[in-house]
Amino acid sequence: MVTGALGQIGSELVASLRKIYGNHNVLSTDLKDASEVDDEYYEKLDVNDTERISDLVQKHQIDTVYHLAAMLSATAEKIPMKAWDLNMNSLLHFLELAREKKISQLYWPSSIAIFGADTPKNNTEQNALAIPTTVYGISKRSGEYWCNYYHKRYGVDVRSIRYPGLISWKTLPGGGTTDYAVDIFYQALETGKYECFLSEETALPMMYMNDAIRATIELMQADPEKLSIRTSYNLNALSFTPKQLTEAIQKYLPDFEISYKPDFRQAIADTWPASIDDSIAQKDWNWKPEFDLDAMCKAMLENLKIKLGVES
């Protein structure tokens, strides 16, 4: 079962899991009515509805859950209590189902947002000081502790990655601080101009979606004996500023122009690392990213040109 399956990550994770396990073995769930979703193996599920979660787990004999539904950083700052409710309570319910052995494996994503302004910015280590100052970061950090607790105390097989900002072309991102790095490609192709809500020198950790999906599946398939982290793994791929991303896009679209108008998301980004040390993921389950900045830009532009019907 995948929750939040219609989102930026879920839409791609479901497709990849179905290639491996077969369509009928992967149930996608999200808030939309089933009649609105073109997917035979979809069920409507609000993850605040714990009874419905339990019913669906039983009805479909679910053994593994990828619990993606959450409120992302920028939206969460507007409605902090709702974000806390959504991000925490549903995780606890799935952890309880795992403790009761109603499911056998749980995946739950954390984020680079667990770090804070006092964290060293470059090559941020797995166990670097992490005092998050956004509600999203607090919920992810707390969730990591709960995952670790359920693993250590009850032997629950819960696995997690601290995703960097994810860049993809299939589904738009849903209210994060790193969304600029997707929006910029749409605007570059459609209008040739982009007004960025972060300043030009704001470096953040980022990753192309193909790498993130592969990492997720590789972690879930890894030998549990080799996994030394049950909070959440640091994961690294790219680190760039809006200015560096612009220059990379200009190699393909030389007339592309950017301007900067930082908004409330700048304050969030300022508390996050610029790059991540993921040596433990490399060691424990052989993690290695494939997409560098240029390969990511090329893939984004090629795929979006087709999606948006833009002439070369």
Q: Report the C-alpha gap between 161 and 121 in whole angstroms.
A: 19
Which entry of ligand SER, ligand NAD, none binds 216, CB below 5 to 8 A by partner kind? Answer: none
Distance separating alpha carbons of residues 57 and 104, to the nearest angstrom: 11
Catalytically annotated residue among 136, 150, 180, 208? 136
- The residue of the chain with the least Cβ separation from ligand SER equals 176
Region from 39-47, 83-91, 116-124, 175-183 binding ligand SER, contact rule CB under 6 A? 175-183
Among 4, 116, 176, 205, binds ligand SER (CB under 6 A): 176
66 part of the active site: no
Name the segment binding ligand SER (CB under 6 A); options: 122-130, 170-178, 190-198, 239-247. 170-178
**3 state SS of 238:** strand
Residues whose CB falls within 8 Å of the CB of residue 136, separated by 6 or more in sequence, listed in order? 71, 72, 73, 76, 77, 83, 87, 111, 113
Residue 128 Cβ vs ligand NAD, minimum distance, rounded to whole Å: 17
93 membership: H or E segment, kind and range:
helix 90-99
Binding to ligand SER in span 7-36, by CB under 6 A: none
Is residue 73 near ligand SER by the rule CB under 6 A?
A: yes
Token code pair at residue 309: 């019907």
Which of ligand SER, ligand NAD, none does residue 6 bind to, with CB < 5 to 8 Å depending on kind?
A: ligand NAD
Q: How far is CA 80 from the centre of its chain?
A: 19
85 binds, among ligand SER, ligand NAD, none (CB under 5 to 8 A by kind): none
Partner whose binding site includes residue 42, from ligand SER, ligand NAD, none (CB under 5 to 8 Å by kind) = none
CA–CA separation, 290 and 68 (whole Å): 23
Give the whole-angstrom CA distance, residue 8 versus residue 172: 6
CA dist 80 and 281 (Å) reads: 31
Residues labelled as active-site residues: 136
Q: Give contact residues for ligand SER (rule: CB under 6 A).
A: 72-73, 111, 113, 136, 165, 176-178
